[in-house]
Amino acid sequence: MDRSDILQKTTDHVRGLLSGEGSGHDWFHIERVRNAALHIAREEGADPFVVELAALLHDIADWKFAGGDHDAGPRAARDWLTSLGVPESIIDYVADIIARLSFKGAGVETPMSTLEGRCVQDADRLDAIGAIGIARAFAYGGHKGRALYDPAVPPQPHASFEAYKKNAGPTINHFYEKLLLLKDRMNTTTGKQLAAERHAFLEQFLDQFFSEWEGKQ
């Protein structure tokens, strides 16, 4: 099976798994991340095949929907690529990117050692900020039954992945616990450039949100 067939079958597979998902981790999230990752890869000189495979498969078994099992995603990606006869070296590469991809708390470093991994991680983080990032944050909060905001519940700078996984605070807290931190955690020059405008929009949104919350507008 050639690379174009592998990518097409993987696209069809992931679209079938995630179409209609309502928490913001749906097929359209995958498609946006793939497109952004390939754009970054072109600018940064990364291998587009590895980047596209990792972007397509990065959320097929997210730990948030797999009982907190952080190994579920890499394992599912590995099983799928093995079924297509993808070379073991590429399977290992893609699975390693997926294993390292996720944000794990404000106090937890998530280094990505490869250029391809850095491209995919930046693309995934770009989809968590800006207008779409805001929409996804509230979609996920609603999916989990979380409050929009509660002044009595302050944001928590989670020092460990376990603490981050247990978080159930209001959605506005998530801006301070993750979203506003992502701009400075971008890996690539291209990712940093793309993140700047989206980060500014997060700040504008919060200014407007709190002004309306306090009845000033």
Q: What are the residue ranges spanned by the domains of the chain?
A: 3-213
* pLDDT for 32: 97
* pLDDT for 67: 60
Rounded to 5 degrees, what angle do the CA atoms 6, 59, 110 make?
A: 110
* pLDDT for 139: 93
- Please state which architecture CATH assigns to domain 3-213: Orthogonal Bundle (1.10)
Where does the chain show beta strands of DSSP type E?
none
DSSP conformational letter for 20 = T
* pLDDT for 107: 86
**CB-hemisphere CA count at 13 Å for 83?**
9
* pLDDT for 155: 94
pLDDT in tens, the chain (217 residues): 799 999 999 999 999 999 888 788 899 999 999 999 999 999 999 999 999 999 999 988 775 655 656 788 899 999 999 999 999 999 999 999 999 998 888 888 888 999 999 999 999 999 999 999 999 999 999 988 999 999 999 999 888 888 887 888 999 999 999 999 999 999 999 999 999 999 999 999 999 999 999 887 6
* pLDDT for 195: 98
